[in-house]
Amino acid sequence: MANTAEQSYGGFWVRVLAYLVDSVVFFTVLILIAAGAAFLGDFGATAVSVVALFGPFLYWGLMHASARQATFGKSLLGLKVTDSDGERLSVVRSLVREIAKIVSSIPMGLGFLLAAFTGRKQALHDMLVSTTVVRDSSGHVLVALLVGLFGWIAPAALVMVLGVGLVAGMMGGMGAGMMEQALTDAPKQAMQSPPPSRPAAPPPAVAARPVEAVAPAQPQAVTPPIAVEAPAPAPKVAALEPKRAAVVPKPVAAARALDLPGQLQERTIALPGTLESLPARSGPKYNDLMSAVMSSDVAALNELLAMGKWPDKPDSHGMTPLTAAAMRGDRASVEVLVKAGADSDRALAVARMRRDAAMTSLLERYATSKRP
């Protein structure tokens, strides 16, 4: 078929539309190949890379040399690629034409733009290999527009939607992780910091030390005038022996019986009395509920609640005793606190996050019983 003066050629814009349709077709096939190659490991990744690199060259080159003389996009618009005489291209010539497209794209794609100004609508690569793009029919322009435009817009919109969903999921996961980390670190910090007010060491232990120090010092502190060889009637010494044995626990009486020097007597008299004479300390074991919870002391917890302590009083980190008990898995303390009226909502969220079925069931039971 020889070209005539009345031969209609494919202009620049119709060829652009055909290229959009062909791009949608090629990338759809490429995505299907990539999905199948995902199960092949490294070999599949290599295969997808080879197809993405050489696929366009073979698709356009072989389709232009086929019996239809056009790709799917050009056929949809009634276009064909021919030589200068209007004949079908050979495979070699068609592949050379695809290589020549590199030359058309080098000066910022100006070689493709020549198709809008030349008489036979030839681009630079068409001129190099003496080919033309003819239009045998009007084709289906509306269908090509729908395929070409929506074929590119739909994946872009899908990627945007998936990207927003992915970002939202990541932010939610980060927020949950930060909350879990904060809830996990708070009890550790509370345990590492000293208790608010621990009871001081019992005073009797301090008072006992001087008493023990005086007892072994008695033989050294006794001056020569108080030697045992002092002249004294034997019956009188024998009478004093029982008294000495009886008053050993009382340092003051012992000093008087032995008639120690004044200095030693003053030191002995200044010491506190015996352990039995000290008053016993009274009051709760802990000053707050959080200390009792951290020690898992249910008895002390009941004692503080009986004294009217507020069961929902938060610590310096904003954590309530019930939440701390739920994080520790202390069901006994949790049950005592919820019976005392503690709010179980935050503790229930912690139990669910820890996947503690028994704790969750316990808190849900009390939460349900509070509802009107």
The Cα–Cα gap between 124 and 102 comes to 10
**H or E stretch covering 131:** strand 131-135
Q: State yes or no: pLDDT of 360 exceeds 50.
A: yes
Specify whether the CB–CB gap between 319 and 186 falls below 8 A. yes
The Cα–Cα gap between 296 and 340 comes to 17
CA distances from 53 to 26, 32, 47, 97, 198 (A): 12, 16, 10, 17, 74
The model scores a pTM over 0.85 = no
Sheet strands (E) in the chain: 79-83, 131-135
Q: Which of 61-70, 105-114, 189-198, 355-364 has the lowest mean pLDDT?
A: 189-198
Q: What is the pLDDT at residue 87?
A: 92
- Grade residue 22 by pLDDT with cuts at 50, 70 and 90: very high
> What are the tens digits of pLDDT across the range 228-270?
444 444 444 344 444 444 444 444 444 344 444 544 444 444 4
- C-alpha closest to that of 69 among 56, 55, 79: 79
Q: How much is the average pLDDT of 331-360?
A: 85
- Grade residue 285 by pLDDT with cuts at 50, 70 and 90: confident
Q: How much is the average pLDDT of 46-62?
A: 92
**Domain segments of the chain as ranges:** 12-144, 232-275, 289-370
Backbone angles phi, psi at 83, to 5 degrees: -85, -170
The Cα–Cα gap between 170 and 216 comes to 74
The Cα–Cα gap between 82 and 66 comes to 11
Higher pLDDT, 59 or 204: 59
Q: Which amino acid is at 65?
A: A
CATH superfamily of 289-370: Ankyrin repeat-containing domain (1.25.40.20)
Q: What is the pLDDT at residue 129?
A: 94
Other C-beta atoms lying within 10 Å of the C-beta of residue 341: 13
> What are the tens digits of pLDDT across the range 98-107?
999 999 998 7
Higher pLDDT, 35 or 221: 35
- Grade residue 40 by pLDDT with cuts at 50, 70 and 90: confident
- Grade residue 117 by pLDDT with cuts at 50, 70 and 90: very high
Q: What is the pLDDT at residue 28?
A: 92
The Cα–Cα gap between 32 and 212 comes to 92
